A and B are shown apart, each in its own frame.
Chain A
Amino acid sequence: MSEDGDHGGDEPTLSDRIDGFLAALREWAAGLYHGLVTHPAYEKIEKAAEDAEDTFMLACFPDAFGIPSPVSYYTAELLPYLESEFEAWERRMWDRGSMLERKGEQYHF
């Protein structure tokens, strides 16, 4: 009785240990699944979103790259609302060595 009591205080029961093990396993599995499957997928979708946004920005402000545009007069009025996009876009555009490089960014070796 006293022996049992001592053990009960120091050492978890078998079912507790199994629960703990499963919890760790679940966390690992979730992490692994997120790392291998969901994260790359979301990353890909987000990259695609950025690409679509880049096309939008390029259509709006081709003169940023020296291409005259007859509509930049109208698209200029969008600029105040495109603050964060504009900077990120410029950075992405200057950075983008090639399409391959851009598409390759999502594979983490």
Chain B
Amino acid sequence: MEKFVFFGGKGGVGKTTMSAAYAVKCADAGLDTLVVSTDPAHSTSDVFDQQLGDEPQAVEGRDGLWAMEIDPDEEVEHHLMETKRALGDQVSAALVNEIDRQIEMAHQTPGAYEAALFDRFVDVMRSSGDFDRVVFDTSPTGGTLRLLGLPEFLEGWIDRLRRKREQSIDLYEKAAIGNTEPRRVMDGDPILARLRERKQFFEYAGRMLREHTAFFLVVNPDELSVRETRRAAEGLADRGLAVRGLAVNRLTPSPDDDEHGRGARYLRDRVATERAHLRTLREEFDQPVVAEIETRVEEVRGDFLTEVAAELDIETAPPADPPTPD
């Protein structure tokens, strides 16, 4: 199994439960495991009954298990401050205001939040050398797909920017043939250096996602969830990221045969519908169903996590070739 494992799916299907349970399973198998929540509505803290923060924190009462919750807002703020500091170092006081406004604006565009989240989770991947496995509990499908689609898109974009920049510097150098200093020179151009750095960052992210990451989709046995799962699986495949398996959560338990009350009839109908959806998932999807978890009356936490973990048919063996940090 790869070093990085992602759990995705529609909102409210139980991604957090599944990823926490899988992390527990890995930790119990003797792997140093980190669970990372990238969902803006964090609930990992609730599952482990412990307040988590932006740095990996040992989960109390469980050996080899750490957890953290990424806060994109904080990352946006941090990035804003970094950029402004560079601005103070570089730019004359007269121009700071003008450029400052532009920087503020860039941090309020709709993409900023996603970009920050992306930066953060690539950071986590980069600095995860101490862990054998990192489990990502992602935000609902739409956001995740956009997020995972970023590296390729951004690599292309950065490449085009770099070419434009080189072209203009090249022309400036040509215009200065003779006696004058060119207005810009290729050597040591800070913009090109930055763009190159960014490109490496995206390349790293893309490589990790394609070669060292396994994706699982959590699905509930209902029409909407099945449909969304189909779209998500296709969307990920389009980006060259294959889904490894489907974890079915919230299956309704069937009543005993001798029960014939209203509740039993309801349950029987419900179970029949779910069976149909389960069949669809088994027959029409290329991915195997790796877990069938029944609905539980209590919240899944504590010992229940271990119970759910036992029902997950996902291997825990450490990766044969762990990714090398660059």
Contact = CB atoms under 8 A, between A and B. Distances in A.
Which bracket fits the contact residues of A?
35 or more
Contacts of A71: 111, 115, 154, 157
A76 B104 CA distance: 9
Main SS of the interface on chain A?
helix
A63 B102 CA distance: 8
B191 A82 contact: yes
B324 interface: no
A64 B102 contact: yes
Contact of A70 (B83, B86, B109, B198): B109
Nearest to B201: A74
B105 A78 contact: no
Interface in B111-163: 111-112, 114-116, 154, 157-158, 160-161
Interface string B253-277: 0000000000000000000000000
B317 interface: no
A32 to B, nearest CB: 16
Contacts of B106: 61, 63, 72-73, 75-76
Interface string B190-203: 11001100100000
A48 B157 CA distance: 22
Contacts of B102: 61, 64, 76, 79, 86
Given A64-B105, A76-B107, 12 more contacts: A50-B168, A59-B161, A61-B106, A68-B110, A70-B115, A72-B106, A72-B111, A74-B115, A75-B106, A80-B91, A80-B99, A81-B191
8 contacts: A50-B168, A64-B105, A68-B109, A76-B102, A79-B99, A80-B89, A86-B102, A87-B95
Interface of A: 38, 42-43, 45-46, 48-50, 52-53, 55-56, 59-61, 63-64, 68-83, 86-87, 90
